[in-house]
Amino acid sequence: MNMNWLLVFIPISFALDKLGADPTIVFLASAAAIVPLASLMEKATEVLAHYLGPTYGGMLSATMGNAPELIIGISALRNGLIEVLKGSIAGSVLGTLLFGMGMTIVAGGLKKPVQTFDQQMVSVNSSLLMLATFGLIIPAVFHFSGKSDQELSLEISVILLLAYLASMAYTLFSHRPTVGKPAVEMALKEKGEELEEMAAEEAALPHWTRNGALGILGAVTVGLAFVSELLTGSLEPTATRLGLTPAFAGVFLLALVGNLPQYMNSVSFASKNQMTLALSINLGATTQLALMVAPLLVIAGEVMGLPMNLLFSQFELIGIILSVVIAHSLISDHTSTWLEGVLLIAVYAMLGFGFFNMPAQ
């Protein structure tokens, strides 16, 4: 789906901010502007990955997959929205594993009653997600003081980043992509459908040169940085006006903005019967978020002198654990039906009501 027409909201959001418009309107306009920017960043990365080849291209796609969330996260840090930012990290895990995967599985199940997908892709991403979950639980278990929370979070962040680099090295040296979109290539080879599906995927890419894709990637990154400042700056007054707690604003508002293009792409691939690719988008994005984006935001907070850590609230932590366990249990047999997708969405909705009714901390 072409979302480039939403780019008109970039000048509109800046004009509204300069004119002192209602923060809620500024938030909605900037959120609408971020969606096509995130989509363009993904397309530019895919084009560059095509030029680099499957192995190095896969690493680039994996690294850049969560760049919009990282940019939005740094903007939230600059605006002092630390609790909202941690809610956004938790919300991205919940949203991707429950809502994103749920919509993807439903879309695939409506085309084919029982969908199958690559076993190794699921196994590797599930293992990495379990590691990341342990990394988020440990600060809550060893919660003593603000200073120790910061130090422990920093140490765990370094370990998580090293684990992420190890997964990238595994992808590079094994030549069997398992994290991110390139996992579909191996699955297609195994099914004997490589040429047809790869040709269809390549035909869907924009006809940009390598330098053109680099230029678009740079311009989009700058645009995201500026629009993210508007988004995060208007988030708190918007949440206050709507009567939303900071936790709900982070978990269900801020997280949704950065992930919407990803959800739409995974649903699109699932509806084309490319289930391995569709699920690898969701699983890979969640893995990258927990192993790369969250640790980098902790390190950025340390550099900026802000108390950013991995100490999530009890409700956020329970939501993360539930989403990882439920998603893993439903896809562990490497098959899916549309009913399983509905169950994931139902869990996401129940958590949404729980966070909505949660009192402000």
Q: Residue 189 has what pLDDT?
A: 46
122, pLDDT greater than 90: no
Phi-psi region of 145 (alpha: psi -120 to 50; beta: other; left: phi over 0): beta
pLDDT by residue (tens digit) across 17-67?
999 889 999 999 998 998 888 888 878 877 887 777 655 665 676 567 677
What is the average pLDDT value for the chain, to the nearest integer?
81
Does 361 fall in a domain?
no
Q: What's residue 296's pLDDT? A: 93
User: Which secondary structure element, helix H or strand E, spans residue 335, and what is its range?
Assistant: strand 335-336
Distance CA 122, CA 321 (A): 17
Which of 1-5, 97-101, 117-121, 248-252 bottoms out in mean pLDDT, i.e. has the lowest? 1-5
Kindly report the pTM of this predicted structure. 0.80
SS3 95: helix
Instruction: Indicate whether 126 belongs to any domain.
Output: yes
Q: What is the mean pLDDT of residues 259-281?
A: 81
Please determine, for residue 178, whether its predicted confidence score (pLDDT) is greater than 60.
no
In which residue are the tokens 């090295």 written?
169
Helix and strand counts by DSSP (H, E) for the chain: 17, 2
Partners of 336 in the β-ladder: 115
Give the H/E segment covering residue 306. none
Distance CA 340, CA 331 (A): 9
pLDDT(120) > 90: no
* Alpha-carbon distance values, 200 to 105, 219, 272, 322 (Å): 21, 28, 10, 36
The pLDDT of residue 119 is: 75
Q: Could you tell me the residue range of the domain that residue 222 belongs to?
A: 4-356
* Total Cβ atoms within 10 A of residue 258: 30
Domain count across the chain: 1
Can you tell me the mean pLDDT for 175-197?
Answer: 46
28-42, 63-77, 133-147: range with highest mean pLDDT = 28-42
Kindly state the percentage of the chain with pLDDT values over 90.
Answer: 19
CATH number at 18 reads 1.20.1420.30
